[in-house]
């Protein structure tokens, strides 16, 4: 590619991309997609029900041991259990395996229509991801509105030397998924400007930041709102299957290692391939400047960052005081554990959101960007307002999951698919890699971490569970497949903005320019990440705290 980065000629690759774009434009809004899916499963359940389709499978049923203990206590504790064959004292098992038939239930029958109408409100009220999103984004929204996120990114870019600048930008880009818009809207234009300021090609900086924010979006060194949403959707499905739920840190170890490895990979790819391909930058090719990112007065920003830093330290001290001492409120009251199914893990989302909220308020007061409680509440309200479309989508996702599960379609599909897989004797790892590729291809026409998982979780979680694959193992595979395609799919919502940033520095830049720049990142990140996933699986390394590869 020349220094002017001319748009690719209309060859076979361009024609293929045009075809993908035309196909993508025909895909409905994700909310409408779930409406259509509900209609589809309703018709499908009616047809299969009329055909008498059903499956019989062994299921694990919990034994009501607590009920027996309560009844015995009310009767004075005079009853004990004994083995009838040996006469020895016995205890009730926690679970028993029973054979159960699962017929397809018709959503268009009287019973099905009754369920559709009577459960509509309860389905949404019980969809835990809604509350998680609102709580998570309240704190992040205040931090963004106050300018804390942008100030942190600007500070990192300014202090980085030219040699370590690519690594710093990529590393910050990976971390930025904790506040999605901040990475796309702030870091990417700043990265291009930072490269230009040190005499390097600005499109290389833009590409590196875009790859870090988009192609590595599924993992982070921190717990993100996306982690919470994925976990809640997973647990909704696991609850219907009678399986043990997972917590938000079940992929945490894998996310940390993936973040570090992919940061290095993206950095090396940028410096060794993308920059040489672009060549020296010719400022005469610059186009119309985009509006610069608003910056605060340096003294005000520095004061805000100091206040935010002291507040962050206070939050850390407070959390440590509530979690480290024996008998602390955030420890398990029975076992004293801190990691696992404990109050600390259950409080993690609230703690992170509270930290962002308090640091955002502190920065705003110090920098003068938030002058009172009304502006803080207004920032939260504005954030919630921006989530309106997402909440409408969640409304339909909640209905889809509830109706899909009620019809027994996922159970029948899972049992039949599991039988086929068992007969084919295909290794679980091969199926997991195939799953990664399927998610990768679907991301072309259905970008978005949450909608795809809402569709696939009810189908694939039970299938892989029959193969002994733990939910966190499948979720890790989903992260690998979802992110790399984000930077080249024409349906990426921020892609027009990225093109605008490119046109500031190279007037002839277009969609083809950006996609051709980002395609190497997609390929290299996918291959590296898949190899890391396979090695991780084969070594049996836990994906996170108390998160083994296989079901225990």
Hey, what are 419's tokens? 């039988």
Nearest to 68 by CA among 80, 60, 58: 80
Q: Is the pLDDT of residue 444 over 90?
A: no
Q: Mean per-residue pLDDT for 51-55?
A: 89
Percent of the chain with pLDDT over 70: 82
pLDDT tens for each residue of 63-121: 676 666 777 677 666 666 666 676 677 676 665 656 778 899 999 999 999 999 999 99
Q: Residue 207 burial by CB count (10 A; 0-12/13-18/19+): exposed, middle or buried?
A: buried
Q: Residue 163 burial by CB count (10 A; 0-12/13-18/19+): exposed, middle or buried?
A: exposed
**Token match 């028993």: residue?**
96
Nearest to 537 by CA among 467, 451, 454: 467
Hey, what are 368's tokens? 């003068």
What's the CA gap between 188 and 330, in Å, rounded? Answer: 38
Q: What count of Cα atoms within 13 Å lies in the side-chain half-sphere of residue 209?
A: 31
Nearest to 348 by CA among 116, 545, 78: 545
Contact 258, 529 (CB under 8 A): yes
Q: Is the pLDDT of residue 529 over 90?
A: yes
In sequence order, what are the beta bridge partners of 100? Answer: 57
What's the CA gap between 356 and 225, in Å, rounded? Answer: 12
Nearest to 394 by CA among 30, 24, 28, 141: 30
**147 or 178, greater pLDDT:** 147
pLDDT confidence band for 261 (50 / 70 / 90)? very high
pLDDT tens for each residue of 503-525: 888 888 877 788 888 988 999 99
Hey, what are 312's tokens? 């962050």
The pTM for the full model equals 0.66
Residues 6+ apart with CB under 8 A from 199: 281
Q: Is the pLDDT of residue 29 over 70?
A: no
According to the model, what pLDDT value does residue 492 have? 72
Q: What is the DSSP string of 85-122?
A: TT--B----SEEEEEEEEEPP-TTSHHHHHHHHHTHHH
Residues 6+ apart with CB under 8 A from 329: 322, 323, 343
- For the chain, give the longest Cα–Cα distance: 94
Hey, what are 296's tokens? 């605060």
Give the containing element (helix H, strand E) for 56.
strand 54-62
What's the CA gap between 178 and 392, in Å, rounded? Answer: 22
**What is the SS3 assignment for 372?**
coil
According to the model, what pLDDT value does residue 414 have? 65
Contact 234, 249 (CB under 8 A): no
Distances (CA, A) of 408 to 49, 96, 117: 10, 21, 18
Contact 548, 540 (CB under 8 A): yes
**Residue 94 burial (CB count, 10 A):** 9
What's the CA gap between 340 and 248, in Å, rounded? Answer: 10
Contact 231, 267 (CB under 8 A): no
């Amino acid at each position: 590619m020349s220094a002017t980065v001319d748009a690719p000629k209309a060859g076979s690759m361009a024609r293929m991309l045009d075809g993908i774009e035309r196909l993508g434009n025909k895909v409905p809004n994700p909310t409408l997609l779930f409406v259509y899916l509900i209609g589809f499963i309703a018709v499908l359940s009616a047809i299969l029900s009329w055909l008498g389709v059903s499956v019989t499978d062994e299921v694990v049923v919990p034994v009501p041991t607590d009920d027996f203990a309560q009844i015995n206590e009310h009767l004075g504790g005079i009853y004990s259990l004994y083995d009838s064959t040996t006469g020895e004292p016995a205890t009730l098992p926690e679970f028993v395996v029973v054979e159960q038939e699962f017929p397809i239930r018709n959503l268009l029958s009287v019973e099905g229509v009754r369920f559709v109408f009577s459960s509509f409100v309860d389905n949404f009220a019980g969809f835990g991801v809604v509350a998680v999103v609102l709580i998570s984004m309240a704190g992040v929204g205040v931090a963004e509105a106050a300018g804390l996120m942008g100030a942190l990114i600007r500070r990192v870019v300014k202090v980085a030397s030219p040699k370590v600048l690519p690594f710093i930008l990529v590393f910050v880009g990976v971390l930025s998924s904790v506040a999605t818009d901040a990475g796309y809207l702030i870091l990417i234009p700043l990265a291009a400007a930072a490269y230009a300021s040190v005499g390097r090609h600005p499109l290389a900086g833009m590409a590196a930041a875009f790859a870090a924010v988009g192609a590595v979006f599924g993992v982070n060194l921190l717990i993100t709102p996306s982690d919470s949403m994925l976990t809640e959707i997973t647990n909704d499905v696991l609850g219907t299957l009678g399986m043990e739920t997972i917590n938000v840190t079940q992929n945490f170890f894998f996310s940390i290692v993936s973040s570090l490895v992919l940061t290095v990979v993206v950095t090396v790819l940028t410096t060794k391939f993308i920059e040489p391909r672009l060549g020296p930058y010719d400022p005469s090719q610059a186009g119309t400047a985009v509006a610069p990112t608003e910056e605060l007065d340096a003294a005000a920003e520095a004061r805000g960052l100091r206040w935010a830093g002291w507040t962050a330290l206070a939050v850390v001290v407070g959390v440590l005081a509530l979690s480290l001492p024996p008998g602390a409120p955030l420890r398990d009251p029975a076992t004293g554990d801190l990691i696992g199914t404990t109050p600390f893990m259950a409080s993690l989302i609230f703690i992170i959101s509270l930290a962002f909220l308090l640091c955002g308020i502190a920065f705003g007061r110090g920098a003068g960007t938030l002058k009172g409680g009304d502006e803080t509440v207004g920032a939260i309200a504005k954030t919630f307002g921006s989530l309106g479309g997402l909440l409408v989508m969640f409304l339909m996702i909640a209905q889809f999951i509830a109706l899909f599960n009620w019809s027994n379609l996922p159970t029948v599909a899972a049992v039949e698919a599991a039988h086929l897989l068992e007969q084919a004797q295909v290794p679980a790892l091969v199926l997991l890699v195939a799953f990664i590729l399927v998610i990768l291809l679907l991301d072309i026409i259905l970008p978005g971490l949450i909608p795809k998982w809402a569709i696939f979780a009810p189908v694939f979680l039970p299938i892989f569970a029959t193969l002994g694959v733990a939910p966190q193992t499948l979720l890790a595979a989903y992260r690998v497949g979802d992110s790399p395609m984000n930077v080249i799919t024409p349906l990426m919502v921020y892609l027009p903005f990225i093109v605008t940033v490119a046109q500031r520095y190279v007037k002839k830049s277009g969609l083809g320019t950006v996609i051709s720049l980002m395609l190497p990142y997609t390929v290299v990140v996918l291959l590296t990440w898949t190899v890391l996933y396979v090695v991780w699986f084969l070594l049996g390394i836990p994906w996170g705290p108390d998160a083994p590869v296989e079901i225990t």
